[in-house]
Amino acid sequence: MPVGFGFSAGDIAIAIGLLSKVYKGLKETGGSASEYQDVSEFLRGLILTLQHLQRLQVDCCDPSLVKAIQALSEAALKPIFELLEEIKEYDSSLRAGAAAGQFRSSFKKGQWTLRVPKKIEKLKADITVKLKPIQLLMESESLYVYFNRISSCLSL
């Protein structure tokens, strides 16, 4: 008589995949600590760039364009700050030169590997959507300035 509970081949395959994923995350080079450091550095750079865009000078271009870029930059910063706040708990274990104990560090690396990559992918998609209008506005202003310079040179 067959048993109504137990592990199927699919369950075992999922468990092996999960263990493999956690093992890769525990590696010192290319593992979750490296990924954490890369993500943190990239997000901080992106924050600085967006904050710079928020401080654009109104006298350099169309004021409505500047206001639009400032508003879009502010909207793009919100999900970045939210993710940074969320991943702050991993800092003591995953940052460069972290002094966390081996067990705690391994636990945090495993947590990172299982929880955070999906959040990072979602943020990438959200940020891409939010940065595209900023890019288009800045390109349109660059083209406008370029064509004005050409037309002024041609009229000389």
Average pLDDT over residues 59-74: 82
CA distance 53 to 133: 13
Per-residue confidence (pLDDT) for residue 2, from 0 to 100: 53
pLDDT above 70: residue 40: yes
Least confident segment among 69-78, 85-94, 132-141, 143-152: 143-152
Per-residue confidence (pLDDT) for residue 74, from 0 to 100: 92
Summarised one tens digit per residue, pLDDT across range 118-151 is: 888 899 899 889 889 988 888 887 777 666 777 7
Tokens 């092996």 locate to 16
What is the 3-state secondary structure of the chain?
CCCCCCCCHHHHHHHHHHHHHHHHHHCCCCCHHHHHHHHHHHHHHHHHHHHHHHCCCHHHCCHHHHHHHHHHHHHHHHHHHHHHHHHHHHHHHHCCCCCCCHHHHHHHHHHHHHHHHHHHHHHHHHHHHHHHHHHHHHHHHHHHHHHHHHHHHHHC
Per-residue confidence (pLDDT) for residue 29, from 0 to 100: 46
Least confident segment among 84-93, 110-119, 137-146: 137-146
pLDDT above 60: residue 77: yes
* Residue (of 27, 31, 35, 25) closest to 110 by Cα position: 25
Cβ–Cβ under 8 Å, residues 72 and 137: yes
pLDDT above 50: residue 88: yes
Helical (H) or strand (E) element with 8: none
Quote the pTM value: 0.65
* Residue (of 22, 19, 83) closest to 47 by Cα position: 83
Cβ–Cβ under 8 Å, residues 109 and 25: yes
